[in-house]
Every structure is written in structure tokens, then in C-alpha cells.
Amino acid sequence: MTRADSAVDILVVGAGAAGLCAALALANSGHSVALAGPLEAASNGRTVALFEGSLRFLRAQKLWPDLASIAAKIVAIDLIDATNAPVPIPSLTFAADEIGLNALGANIENDKLVLRLADLVRRNPDIRRVEDLVADIEYHTDGVTAVFASGRRIDAKLIVAADGQRSTMRKKAGIGTRRWTYPQVALTVLLAHERPHHDRSIEFHTRSGPCTLVPLPPRGEAQHRSSLVWLMSPQEAQRRHGLDADYLAADIAHEVEEIYGEMRLDSDPGFFPMAGMRAARLTGRRIALIAEAAHTFPPLAAQGLNLSLRDIAALTSSLETARQAREDVGGAAALHRYAAAQEPDIDIRVRGIDVLNRSMLSDALPVDMLRGLGFFAMSALGPLRRAALREGVLPHHRRQLRSAPRPTPGAIF
């Protein structure tokens, strides 16, 4: 066996938003940590809306003060049915003050989030940073060695795979996946517009999926900005791919019923084919999967990174228990605790998003009726609406997030 160049407790593989957060949280919890992978911060019009549960996790990790200045708060979400269904489907509003919060969450540009987190990692003396791809893993009796593309080697007790949908670590660990596709492409872009968004997110439900505007903070001359995630058929995406920026902006303004007046593109657009993926298991020998290495689904209800932060919270908590009990952090007991805590959350989100998405795509009358009934019930019954809202922004089975820090009095959010 070739000797490793260094050894750590935990090697996080993948320096996307999830891997960066995982490395910071695990280092905060006292483990020796290395983070592997190149820094990629593409500006592709993508943002992430993070809900109150995620903000509490970020506050608890002392990461939020560095992120708040690049975030826009979301105080309400308006859902507007635009499917032309044969049954009436009422509009629905979820508002933060209904459940005693200042904000439901915050929206942050993806590339800015990744760069800020990478800066926090760079300033953290307890995280060893290797900006290289891991090419292979080799097991030995009491650990695992990551072999980098450069030939460098790092020994660890545990690998945390945060290396995205096509995770090499997942394949090397022999963990299979279930995959499916949707006849949809998401168009993402940042927009500057004429009228203010009043900190509200607006979601138009169409027959090809939701078309959602989410608030962004002002930038330079652009006082009123939002991000767009618009799900459409691959043919429509192809057509819009070729559009001149002004035509595309006018097309978007028309689709959102001119709600904010004139619009102009404030970034290049991005186009993302929609698919789902679920790893067969969350853990393997000395490996724990998190985030998009474990689950991928369309960006309905903005659940992706929110769920990933709960993966990280669950993993950090299981490994903290292992560390305190002087257990092996890469051992079966610690990994079993993580999987048992997080599998149900992942199952609910993956299935829930799938049903919600397919219910919009289907024009079968019974499906429309069920959707209409759900919207009617939630708009008429306050307790039901508040329960659904709480479950969306502060999921019930993550007690540690519910009890985690709220905003300090006087803070904006």
C-alpha cells in the first residue's frame, strides 16, 4: 500500500454549495476535515431560495452573518393557477407573519453563495483544502484513502460524498441509483424590472410546470430585481434558447402577466433539463452521501439545497454523537444513525415533488379536481395552510432546526 500524504477524520468530496457547508459544519463540530474539488461558481442565472429551517442551521453554524448581505428576504409566496383547468383553482398565499416569522426565507445567487462559502472555508484553519478531483478510493482495515487525479493521497475515516448528481464517489462505493426524467427544461435568469417585488415570491402554475419569480436585492442601477425559474417543454426551451435578450425579456414579462412592468435580463440565461434521481442507499463502506449525490429533483417549492442542508445537519449530529462516544466516525453505527435520521425526509421530498410536478403536467379532470380541492382547502382553512407552510419552511422532524437560533431582535431576517 502506498503511504498517504496526509490524514484527516473526514474528507468531503465536492466543493459545491453543499460540500462547502458540510466541511464548515463538520469542522465547527471539532473533526479534522479536508475538502476536495475544484471551485466552480458559474453565473447561469440560478439562485437558491433557502427557508427558515436552513437559515436557522446557517445561523447555528455562524455562517449566516456572511451570507445575509447578499440575500433578499422572502416574506410571502403567492401561488397563481395558470393551467386553464376546467375546474376553478383559487390563488393561494403563504405569508411569514401567519406563522410568527419575519420572513419565510431568503434568496441568494448561486455563484455568490458558492464564492462566499469558499471564502469562509479558505479562512478556516481547521479545513485542509485540495482543489483537485478525487479519481479513486482504496479501502484498508481502519480507513479509506482518496487518490486524487494529481496522484496525491489523503487518508480518512470517512468520505462525505457531495460530488453532485454524477457522483464518482457513489459509483466507487457501489451504490446504485434510480433515475427518471420529466418532459421539462428549466429556464433560469436574473431579471431587472420596473416595479418592486415587495419581498414576495410569485409562482404561476402552468401546464408545463411552475414559472416562479423570487426576490433579489438591488444591484447598481437596478433597484428592482428577481430571479426566474420557468419550467417549459424542451421544444419551447429550444426556441427561447435562440431568442435575442430583449425578446426573451419581453416574453418573460408577458408570461408573468406584466406583474412587475417592463423587464430586462440581468444575467445570461441557463437551461437545465429536468430529471429525478435517488441513490439506493445513503451510506456505504466508510462513505456517506449528501445533497445531489443522494437526491435530485425539479426545483419546485425550492427544496434542493434546503434538503441538502438537512442532510448535513443530520450527518453532523450523528458524527458528533460518535465523536463524543469515541466511536469510529466512519463506522457502521455512526453511518446507520445518519441514514435512519435522514432517509424519511428524503423519501417525503422526492415523492412529494414528483406528485406535485406530475399533477401540473396532467390535464386529466380528476387530477385537476384534486389539485383544485387541495388549493380550496388550504385557502379556506387557516390551520391547514399554516401546517403546510410550517412543514415547508421548518420541517417537523428536524427538531434541532426548530430549536436552533431565530433572528436576533431587530435583525431584518
Ligand X SMILES: Cc1cc2nc3c(=O)[nH]c(=O)nc-3n(C[C@H](O)[C@H](O)[C@H](O)COP(=O)(O)OP(=O)(O)OC[C@H]3O[C@@H](n4cnc5c(N)ncnc54)[C@H](O)[C@@H]3O)c2cc1C
Catalog residues that contact ligand X under the rule CB under 6 A. Answer: 13-19, 36-38, 40, 46, 48-50, 133-134, 162-164, 168, 186, 188, 229, 272, 291-292, 299, 302-306, 308
Strands (E), 290-334: 295-296
CB 345 within 8 A of CB 303: no
Residue 45 — φ and ψ, nearest 5°? 75, 10
Report the nearest approach of ligand X to the CB of residue 307 (Å): 7
Cell of 121: 472555508
Q: What angle do CA 38, 285, 149 make, to 5 degrees?
A: 30
- Cβ nearer to ligand X, comparing 16 with 276: 16
- Cβ nearer to ligand X, comparing 28 with 296: 296
- Cβ nearer to ligand X, comparing 8 with 322: 8
CA distance 138 to 136: 7
Cell of 134: 478525487
Cell of 224: 428592482
Helix (H) / strand (E) element for 172: namely helix 168-172
CB 274 within 8 A of CB 184: yes
Report the nearest approach of ligand X to the CB of residue 409 (Å): 27
Report the nearest approach of ligand X to the CB of residue 231 (Å): 9
Report the nearest approach of ligand X to the CB of residue 161 (Å): 9
- Cβ nearer to ligand X, comparing 4 with 89: 4
Axis crossing angle, helix 332-361 with helix 365-380, rounded to the nearest 10: 110
CA distance 293 to 239: 31
* Of the candidates 269, 266, 268, the residue with the CA atom closest to the CA atom of residue 224: 266
Report the nearest approach of ligand X to the CB of residue 131 (Å): 9
- Cβ nearer to ligand X, comparing 28 with 54: 54
- Cβ nearer to ligand X, comparing 20 with 92: 20
Q: Is 150 exposed, middle or buried (0-12, 13-18, 19+ CB in 10 A)?
A: exposed
Report the nearest approach of ligand X to the CB of residue 201 (Å): 9
Report the nearest approach of ligand X to the CB of residue 412 (Å): 20
- Cβ nearer to ligand X, comparing 85 with 177: 177
Report the nearest approach of ligand X to the CB of residue 349 (Å): 10
Nearest residue to ligand X on Cβ basis: 16
Q: What distance lies between CA 392 and its chain's CA centroid? A: 13
Cell of 41: 461558481
Cell of 409: 431582535
Cell of 161: 460524498
Question: How many alpha carbons fall within 13 Å on the CB side of residue 141?
Answer: 0
CA distance 185 to 240: 11
- Cβ nearer to ligand X, comparing 10 with 302: 302
Report the nearest approach of ligand X to the CB of residue 165 (Å): 6
Report the nearest approach of ligand X to the CB of residue 270 (Å): 7
- Cβ nearer to ligand X, comparing 156 with 229: 229
Cell of 342: 435522514
Residue 68 — φ and ψ, nearest 5°? -60, -35
Coarse DSSP helix, strand, coil percentages of the chain, rounded to the nearest 5 percent: 40, 30, 30
- Cβ nearer to ligand X, comparing 19 with 209: 19
